Amino acid sequence: MGMSIIFLTIIVVTLCWTKRAHAETDPYLWLEEIDSEKALDWARSHNKTTLDVLQKQADFQAIYDKNLEIYNSDQRIPAPSIRGDYIYNFWKDEKNERGLWRRTPLEEYRKSDPTWETLLSIDELSEVESVKWVYKGVSHFYPDFKRCMVSLSRGGGDAVEIREFDLATKQFVKDGFFVPHAKGSVSWKDINTLHVSTDFGAGTTTQSGYPRLTKVWKRGTPLREAETLFEGEEDDVSVWSDVTYTPERQYTLIRRSITFYKGHYHVIENDTQIKLDIPEDAQLNGFFKNQMLIRLRSDWSVANKPYLQGSLIGIDYDRFLNGDRAFDVIVVPDERSSISSVASTKNLLLVNMLTNVRSRLDQYRFEENTWHKEKVNAPDLGTISIGSTDEFSDRYFFYFSNFLVPSTLYLASEEGPIEKLKSLPEFFDSSKFEVQQFEATSKDGTQIPYFLVSNTNLEHTGKNPTLLSGYGGFEISRQPDYASTVGHAWLERGGVYALANIRGGGEFGPQWHQAALQKNRQRAYDDFIAVAEDLIDRNITSPQHLGIQGGSNGGLLVGAVFTQRPDLLNAVVCSVPLLDMQRYHKLLAGASWMGEYGNPDKPEDWAFIQKYSPYHNLHAGQNYPKVFFTTSTRDDRVHPAHARKMVAKMEANGHECYYYENIEGGHAGSTTNQQTAFRDALIYAYLLQQLR
């Protein structure tokens, strides 16, 4: 008994000392209090200092005016969403800063200037309710689409208020379904039943702030009386449920995310929950012709047959439930390709592939128990993205673009050949520029591809202002895309733009991502540094004229790189970043990313995290570039304290930097076209000031 008391005393004293020591070594914890007057006054003061400089730059006003013209242009493509007989769209412009949710029939949408039926004005709603609402999407009731649940965010964060909306009356349903503001979602079971994942009260969310419970809610009953369908653990990432409709049948799914990449799927059949016997890191890609589709993040051997990492495999759902494990192999990417996305129509399975970071779209038919592949007649040498699909026909939309070709919308259907429907205008003169793809050799010898966009007559003088961007995380691929702001604000002003496809991303499948996970995170930073050095070695630019840019995980990327290799750079745009990697898992949704970075509370994990954590690798006496940090007060995914604390610590160490915190915006950093235009103008005014 005595030894136990002594042991417990040691633990308590150690924990108290650790907490006190951290408080003593981090004098900026008060900046984690998002809405405290002291913290907000600090942010406003820094905003003023930054704006007083950057708004006076010669290029700022011209860039801002052009940005706003582009973002408000009525020549933009109204992104279509097929629901029954209508094409739905959400639209923001000069007159509708917060946006209109609207619809029109397909034949009307084909016109160059279609007539739209307005369903909901977010500006009017915000004015009536005196709340700065941000539209976050809808969940339609299938199959007649007469009702939907509209998600609205206060200020642009991930947390939403969800209200039932009647599409016939164009009004919110009086005494209809209503889910209070929280991080959550709903899915229709039938017209009188919802599956709800949300914050149901104390103890019903995970450490990451996402739902731990999912429930079945009947119309006319209080939400608190909804029946619990599934309950996860507090240290899970989240629990969600979804009712999926196909022409063949309805499927009820439950997803328990244990980590960001591992979890369990359950289905409900005859009121019985059945856990699907598939790998924890596999991704269920839905159902097509009653085929259960699975994408593999690792090799899997089952029923004496191997299935390779990155593959898309399928099996009849009923046969699987009855114990059959003989899967069909639909797609097996090679080492330089990956599956970008999967979608379906009534009779077509669409697979968007990346090969050496260039898109190809294939469609598959499942006939007589055999998969038949056909390449879609889409443009080459760019990025294809699947738009909306129709479950009740073979109509679907897809987009194509690259760095110099404006985004173009195509419509495919069973009625005839693929139709080029709408295209963005050219917002800058792309004829003066060219795109090249190079490779840099990383520290461990791995070849890292990157794109370079420059003037066709680029002189290799080492003096070209060059902006290098990247991401390198969460299996997210960075692909060529038409960026009108980059074009007019950077390229036309003499800049060169580079995009690095570093490890940690998904450009070459799960193995490319997993190569930079957790203890191997430094590889992503080594890759990015290698591309920067390659740009300098080719005499395209030099440290005086090289800048880097990244947001979110990309903000962590550029934060790690400028603290490790400040000698390579003269500008850094670090947006909505993670920077304090000792406390990231304690701030907002941070705990959900421990599958990506590791757990800093574990000594063996902190041993490698602390080596790159930007906040912990700032040193007095070091020469850093004058960094520009941007964030949002209302970002409820990545805490604004990451940027706040980094700036405070840099200034205390005598390092000058810029800081801009938008009071609205969520993780996107802005909510209106005007806010986006303003922030981007600040960024490019800063880059031109630093790198010319």
Active site residues: 552, 667
Residue 606 structure tokens: 């902190």
Residue position matching structure tokens 């750079």? 569
| Sheet containing 283-288, strands listed edge to edge, beginning at the edge strand earlier in sequence | 283-288, 291-295, 312-316, 328-331
Closest CA to 30 of 40, 19, 20: 40
Contact 673, 71 (CB under 8 A): yes
Q: How far apart are CA 320 and CA 360, in angstroms?
A: 31
Q: Is 632 helix (H, G, I), strand (E, B) or coil?
A: strand
Residue 389 structure tokens: 């699909």
Q: How far apart are CA 132 and CA 313, in angstroms?
A: 45
Q: How far apart are CA 128 and CA 600, in angstroms?
A: 46
The H-or-E segment that residue 608 falls in is helix 603-609
H-type helices in 58-208, by residue range? 60-71, 106-109, 122-129
What are the E-state strand segments in 147-226?
A: 147-154, 160-166, 171-172, 178-182, 185-190, 193-197, 213-218
13: Cβ contacts below 8 Å, ≥ 6 apart: none
How many other β-carbons are positioned within 10 Å of the β-carbon of residue 185? 22
Dihedrals phi, psi of 132, to nearest 5 degrees: -80, 80
126: Cβ contacts below 8 Å, ≥ 6 apart: 98, 132, 133
7: Cβ contacts below 8 Å, ≥ 6 apart: none
Full DSSP string of 261-274: S-EEEEEEETTEEE
Q: Is 566 helix (H, G, I), strand (E, B) or coil?
A: helix
Q: Is 197 exposed, middle or buried (0-12, 13-18, 19+ CB in 10 A)?
A: buried
Residue 370 structure tokens: 């055999």
Residue 254 structure tokens: 């439950």
Full DSSP string of 478-536: P-----HHHHHHTGGGT-EEEEE--BTBSTT-HHHHHTTSGGGTHHHHHHHHHHHHHHH
